[in-house]
Amino acid sequence: MNENAGIKNNVPDRDPGMTAEPTSADLDRSVASEAVSSDKGDVAIDETIVAMESLLRKINFILSKRGRSVLREFDLTPPQFVALSQVHHHPGLAMSDLCRKMQLTNATVTGLVDRLEQKTLVERIRDPEDRRTIRLRTTELGETLFTKSLQARQRRLAADVAGFSDEEKSQLVDLLQRLVESMASPK
């Protein structure tokens, strides 16, 4: 089955060129060959920026790979986990809102929710005020599975930063938060 079937837009969820984990040599080549100025002229792209972008891609690749591995342990696909996560964080979420949040078609989300419901991880509930609206909530098993899978991912990350001091971990969190805020703000 086409992994992009049912996606409303053509934005890939991963870099199409990222078929294998990047090596240090790949990072070195990209730093050496991509250190140029912005065509807009307002932001210089130096070796530090190129290295940051390459390292962030590598981290994203590793986290995605590990995440899929953890999800396999819980018999979930990445889209099923995203749907379960949305329902966990937004109890009573309407099916139509889940479609919008996931940027998937109604048919695709219906199939995802069908499989989650078969696994007794979510349940559909008719909205008492608008019988046409179907709302979703996680079951007790769904909550447990969501929490355990998230904790498994967090344990792996904790092992990765075990050699960092508390101050280094705090600095990393602060810098990542600043980067997220900067990336989310309109330019």
Question: Which amino acid belongs to residue 59?
Answer: I
Q: Which two tokens stand for residue 178?
A: 């600043």
C-alpha–C-alpha distance, residues 62 and 39, integer Å: 31
**What residue segments make up the domains of the chain, in order of their start?**
42-158
C-alpha–C-alpha distance, residues 176 and 179, integer Å: 5
Task: State pLDDT tens for residues 104-144.
Answer: 999 999 999 999 999 999 999 998 898 889 999 999 999 99
CATH numeric code, 42-158 = 1.10.10.10
C-alpha–C-alpha distance, residues 77 and 116, integer Å: 10
Walk across the sheet containing 134-138 and list its strands: 93-94, 134-138, 122-126
Q: Which two tokens stand for residue 13?
A: 């969820």
Task: State pLDDT tens for residues 167-183.
Answer: 999 999 999 999 999 99
Q: Which long-range contacts (CB under 8 A, 24 or more apart) does 156-159 make?
A: 156/66, 156/70
On average, the pLDDT of the chain sits at: 84
Task: State pLDDT tens for residues 54-88.
Answer: 999 999 999 999 999 999 999 999 999 999 999 99
